Structure 1
Amino acid sequence: MPAILVTDHGGVRRIALDRPDVHNAFDDALIAELTTALVDAGQDSAVRAVVLTGTGASFSAGADLNWMRGMAAASEQENREDSLRLAALVRTLQFVPKPTIARVNGAAYGGGVGLVAACDIVIGAEHAKFGLTEVKLGLVPAVISPYVVAAIGVRQARRLFLTGETFDAAEACRIGLLHRVVPAEALDEAVDFTLALLAKAGPQAQREAKRLALRMAGIDEERAGRLDAENAELIARLRVSDEGQEGLGAFLDKRAPGWAA
């Protein structure tokens, strides 16, 4: 079955992560399908804006449990290749030449936070929770780190990368991960209001405005690709390390890792 749902409403391409039984967690199929859908949206002249969301209760819980089992058993080279696929997905979202809105309908963890950070505009339900919890597994949020740091700044990233703490939508808005927080029942109205604003602007001007903002921040696709390769090397090395193996094993076995107080 497809891992995403793609629908068009006028000039709006809506892409929903559609694995609600596992809280829209990533696996190879979802990563591949979402990457392709974003490339297609960027190339379709009829698409004026892209809305990314999740079905069910969550936006995305990050890595799928079976995917994590595969990580734990894979070689360093296999882990590097796996990480590069996720990195390519988030980079594609960052640079898709259309305005992107993250409609954050529920919890976003790990790679789910990376998707949120890579969107141009983010509107979240007030009950949504967030977390960059990789350090609890003896890992780091490597391939999503450029996008998260760009969204919330290095000061906040240092705190959240180190603690792995969970935080709410109000805090996510305060630190810049979200632009707006609304009650769940007002989420669609808020997204539609933003889409109406986007529809009044020239599409060529919007493409250039997006490129301008990223360029002024020193963010370009070529440099992002280099960072992705470096960060994939890092996460692959950590996954096969003794600490990474202990952390992943403890998570899969539902026990505390050996270093936990």
Structure 2
Amino acid sequence: MLESYVKLTVSSNIGYIEFFHPNRNSMPSDVLSKLSKTIQEAGNNDAVKVIVLKSGGDRTFCAGASFNELIDVEDAEAGKVFFSGFAHVINAMRKCPKLIIGRIQGKTVGGGVGLAAATDYCMTTKYASIRLSELSIGIGPFVIEPVVTRKIGLSAMSQMTIDAETFFSAEFAKEKGLYADVFETAEELDEAVESLATKLASYNPEALADMKTVFWKGTDDWDTLLIERAAISGKLVLSKFTKKTLKRFR
């Protein structure tokens, strides 16, 4: 049985952060916690000039929240704590002084879309379709809404939220600004990611850090805002509708 992990590998001043979970790279609390801490670690590592965020395997990039863990949430505080995990990861990415390149090899759902949106530059294969499925299970993409809306705009974000059972294509995501480049194969994707990361790692790190601050201007309230949003999701996950729906996926 494969085990979940989060690991940081540094090569030629590039910090490769990889996460994995055997259930389609879903995100339980322990993986979220390790991921936020690893991003902070890479941000503080002088040997790292640029970060590449990726997931293990060759299929789904990230299936979002762990349904198995959500089913076991018994009170609003526990629900808030769980969804705060996504808030902590997004805020770690936002405040990290290093630019983060997203390497998205396949489909991404819910919180995984939030991770993609929180990168500074996102590159994918043509298989990297996206879906915001939260309304269909009785909650909503409250925590990730600010970062997704910031990247693709309120119109596209609301379209995806309302059409919660549809996968939107990688080309749609590129057109809306979530993805910068879409490649035919994972091999082409990896070549492009390494090429860009190598170039960025050779640039002035002070300029990169200052530029990142500009990119994220106006998000200083997210430390509070995303936790408030986590409380909304944490309450909704207790509803009879959501509990009944989640049990179908156990």
Give the aligned CA root-mean-square deviation in angstroms. 1.6
1:7 corresponds to which letter in structure 2?
Answer: T
Partner of 1:205: 207
CA contact (8 A) 2:14 2:198 kept: no
In the alignment, the residues of structure 2 paired with residue 26 and residue 229 of structure 1 have an alpha-carbon distance, to the nearest angstrom, of: 17
Query: Which letter maps to 2:210?
Result: E
Helix, strand or coil at the partner of 2:51: strand
Is 2:78 the counterpart of 1:83? no
- Structure 1 residue aligned with 2:225: 227
- 2: CA distance between counterparts of 1:166 and 1:99? 28
For the 8 Å contact 1:5–1:18, the answer to whether it is kept is no
**How far did residue 196 of structure 1 move?**
2.8
1:115 positional shift: 0.5
Unaligned runs of 5+ in 2: none
TM-score (norm 2): 0.93
Mapped partners of 2:122, 2:36: distance in 1: 19
Structure (1 or 2) with the greater helix fraction? 1
4+ residue segments displaced more than 6 Å: none
1:36 maps to 37
Indicate the SS of the match to 1:61: coil
* 1:236 is the counterpart of 2:237: no
Contact 1:123 1:179 in 2 (8 A): yes
Residue of structure 1 aligned with 2:19, choices 12, 17, 22 = 17
Count of residue correspondences: 245
Amino acid at match of 1:250: T
| 1:259 equivalent in structure 2 | none
Q: Which whole-Å CA distance do the structure 2 matches of 1:77 and 1:96 have between them?
A: 28
Confirm or deny: 8 A CA contact 2:8 2:42 kept in the other structure.
Answer: no
Correspondent of 1:250 among 218, 224, 245: 245
The residue aligned with 1:157 is: 157
> TM-score scaled by structure 1?
0.89
Question: Hey, what does 1:48 align to over in structure 2?
Answer: 49
Question: Counterpart of 1:145?
Answer: 145
185-194 or 110-119, which deviates more? 185-194
Give the partner amino acid of 1:68.
L
Q: 1:168 to 1:96 in 2, by over 3 A?
A: same
Contact 1:17 1:59 in 2 (8 A): no
Structure 1 position 167, deviation (Å): 0.8
Q: Is the 8 A contact 2:102 2:116 kept in 1?
A: yes
2:72 alignment partner, one of 66, 70, 73: 70
Shift of residue 17, structure 1, vs aligned partner: 1.2
Q: How far apart, CA to CA, are the structure 2 residues paired with 1:106 and 1:22?
A: 14
Q: Aligned residues: percent identity?
A: 27
